[in-house]
Amino acid sequence: MDSVDLQVLKTAAAWSRAGYRSTLSTVTRTWGSAPRPVGAMMLIRDDGLVVGSVSGGCIEDDLVERVKVGQLGLRKPELTSYGVSGDEARRFGLPCGGTLQLVMEPIGDCDWIADILGMLDRGVPAARTLDMQSGAVKVAEASADSPLCCFDGSTLSSSFGPRYRLLIIGGGQLSAYLAQVALGLDYQVTVCDPREEYADSWAVPGVTLTREMPDDAVIALQLDANCAVVALTHDPKLDDMALLEALKSPAFYVGALGSRANNARRRERLQLFDLTPEQIRRLHGPIGLYIGSRTPPEIAISILAEMTCIKNGVLPANTLRAPAQIGADGETCLA
């Protein structure tokens, strides 16, 4: 799910535990040009604090002001629209005369959020239904065809998750930067390194560290289409072990650090095992988009940029690669 919307749910639960009341807004329909998609959420606390967004513009300001002066005072969910007329569209900054429809609901006791977060932590997609008349919420496991967001006038249905997961092979400096940025993008991050000299010094909070052999770690994680695997050790005995299993999995991204020459030799080695040509072609190596990366933090950004392209169904601009760049270890890593 969108990490911004996940943060909205987590914040709603935290504010509820602290005794605050808040209003949850969900985009249910758009016309014309809209900055945020259907299903986007924003939470406004009764004192005006905000998490998330529904338009990225003046609509947020108007909603906050209405909450702060008590204009909403919701007792049950309500439907509201912005930008119906040309004057309103210009006032609220909606481009091209766009219109935005929102479901607004009061958030008090919200046990349903804990149910959703618990399911997502277990890798189970969650479906939520909101009854507009009573405000009652039901949570169940989402099916493969559950809509991201659907509103029929009486019921709002939303689906969430599961969260994206990232397995990093190797616990070196580049892995630490990659893990930190990935956490900011709301990946669940696992680092695998059986080498004591790296595992013993790993110190990135919020990351699961495993000392298993890489192929065992890949199998144990039961990779799905929301998973990525990145091999960063530069040791074929470790990286290739992970790749042999990861390339056979449904993971949306599998990449390996190394120069063009090293990755060409890696592909030759992989042909000796039980991988099909199609599976070997899934390997991203040299890893990352070309952005002139030279330092570990820059290389981490380039890797996550390529992962984001693949995750969002955008063709990476690898055809625009410049001459090979020098990686942090002195080898030409990024083409």
Task: Return the closest-CA partner of residue 232 out of 192, 282, 269, 279.
Answer: 192
Write out pLDDT tens, residues 112-143: 999 998 998 887 889 999 999 999 999 999 88
Determine the Cα–Cα distance for residues 98 and 110; give it in Å rounded to an integer.
32
Task: Return the closest-CA partner of residue 135 out of 114, 109, 159.
Answer: 109
pLDDT at 222: 93
For residue 67, pLDDT over 90 is answered with: no
pLDDT at 317: 59
Per-position b or e across 44-80, b if 16+ CB within 10 A of its CB? bbbeeebbbbbbebebbeebbebbeeeebeeeebeee
Domain end marker among 160, 185, 214: 160
Domain end marker among 160, 191, 207: 160
Cis ω for the linkage preceding 194 (within 30 of 0): no
Determine the Cα–Cα distance for residues 123 and 126; give it in Å rounded to an integer.
9
Task: Specify whether 322 is located in the same domain as 178.
Answer: yes
Greater model confidence, 214 or 69: 214
Task: Specify whether 39 is located in the same domain as 149.
Answer: yes
List the beta strands (DSSP E) in the chain.
22-31, 41-45, 50-52, 78-82, 99-107, 126-131, 137-141, 149-151, 155-160, 165-169, 188-192, 208-210, 227-231, 253-256, 283-284, 325-326, 332-334
Greater model confidence, 98 or 281: 281
Mean pLDDT of 147-155: 90
Task: Specify whether 24 is located in the same domain as 76.
Answer: yes
For residue 216, pLDDT over 50 is answered with: yes
Its pTM stands at: 0.72
**φ and ψ at residue 306, rounded to 5 degrees:** -65, -40
Determine the Cα–Cα distance for residues 176 and 295; give it in Å rounded to an integer.
13
For residue 315, pLDDT over 90 is answered with: no
Task: Specify whether 172 is located in the same domain as 319.
Answer: yes
Provide the mean pLDDT of the chain: 85
The residues near 242 (Cβ < 8 Å, ≥ 6 apart) are 167, 169, 192, 214, 215, 217, 218, 229, 231
For residue 97, pLDDT over 70 is answered with: no
- C-alpha angle 35-38-41 in degrees, rounded to nearest 5: 85
pLDDT at 100: 83
Task: Specify whether 63 is located in the same domain as 153.
Answer: yes
CATH number of the CATH domain containing 254: 3.40.50.720
The helix or strand, by DSSP H or E, that contains position 267, with its residue range, turns out to be helix 260-270
Task: Specify whether 253 is located in the same domain as 129.
Answer: no
Domain end marker among 113, 128, 160: 160
Task: Specify whether 127 is located in the same domain as 221.
Answer: no
Task: Specify whether 60 is located in the same domain as 179.
Answer: no
For residue 18, pLDDT over 80 is answered with: yes
- C-alpha angle 164-170-176 in degrees, rounded to nearest 5: 70
pLDDT at 334: 47
Cis ω for the linkage preceding 296 (within 30 of 0): no
Instruction: Please give the share of the chain, as a percent, with pLDDT higher than 70.
Output: 85
Domain total of the chain: 2
pLDDT at 84: 53
Range of the domain at 58: 3-160
For residue 90, pLDDT over 60 is answered with: no
The residues near 174 (Cβ < 8 Å, ≥ 6 apart) are 232, 257, 296, 299, 300, 328
Task: Specify whether 22 is located in the same domain as 151.
Answer: yes
For residue 88, pLDDT over 70 is answered with: no
Task: Specify whether 129 is located in the same domain as 209.
Answer: no
**φ and ψ at residue 174, rounded to 5 degrees:** -60, -40
Task: Specify whether 314 is located in the same domain as 202.
Answer: yes
Task: Specify whether 173 is located in the same domain as 250.
Answer: yes
**φ and ψ at residue 310, rounded to 5 degrees:** -65, -45
